[in-house]
């Protein structure tokens, strides 16, 4: 004899714990990220220009999750030369050559991916009570 489950009765039954009650009643917390990318963040690649002869060509260099695409074609000279980099998530950002050559930026990524790492670290701490450094979550 096959036992059937009455899902309607199961759905209206008392929840297992307080978190399940919040989820069922709609009183749970919905997270909407407040982190918005800055002015140097694009989903499609902006125009690049040819690298001058007196500048080291960093095109193709990989730093963390970033790959250098080319020299950014910026018309404003107040910010100086910046490189266009592509994150492994597919978004584009601008970085200076000093940041690209810095060995401490081995786990560099775009602002949105960096925010995701922060959220993972925070959730890990809330679940386990252990504080891991960000390098633990940069392995992906």
> pTM for this one?
0.66
The more confident residue out of 42 and 26 is: 42
pLDDT digits (tens, 9 = 90+) for 29-48: 555 566 666 668 888 888 88
- Cβ contacts of residue 40 below 8 Å, gap of 6+? 82, 93, 94
How far apart CA 20 and CA 4 sit, in angstroms, is 23
Question: Is the model's pLDDT at 126 over the cut of 70?
Answer: yes
Mean pLDDT of the chain: 77
Cα separation, 75 vs 47, in Å, equals 11
pLDDT surpassing 70 at residue 70? yes
- pLDDT computed for residue 8 by the predictor: 67
Is 66 in contact with 85 (CB distance < 8 Å)?
yes
What radius of gyration, in Å, describes the C-alpha atoms of the chain? 23
């Amino acid at each position: 004899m096959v036992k059937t489950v009455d899902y309607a009765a199961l759905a209206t039954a008392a929840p297992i714990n307080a978190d399940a009650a919040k989820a069922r009643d709609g009183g749970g917390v919905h997270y909407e990220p407040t982190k918005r990318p800055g002015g140097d963040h694009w989903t499609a690649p902006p125009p690049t220009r040819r690298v001058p002869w007196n500048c080291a060509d960093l095109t193709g260099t990989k730093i963390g999750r970033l790959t250098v695409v080319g020299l950014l074609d910026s018309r404003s000279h107040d910010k100086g030369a910046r490189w266009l980099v592509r994150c492994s998530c597919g978004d584009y950002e601008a970085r200076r050559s000093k940041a690209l050559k810095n060995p401490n930026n081995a786990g560099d990524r775009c602002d949105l991916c960096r925010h995701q790492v922060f959220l993972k670290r925070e959730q890990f701490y809330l679940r386990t009570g252990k504080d891991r450094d960000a390098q633990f979550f940069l392995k992906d």
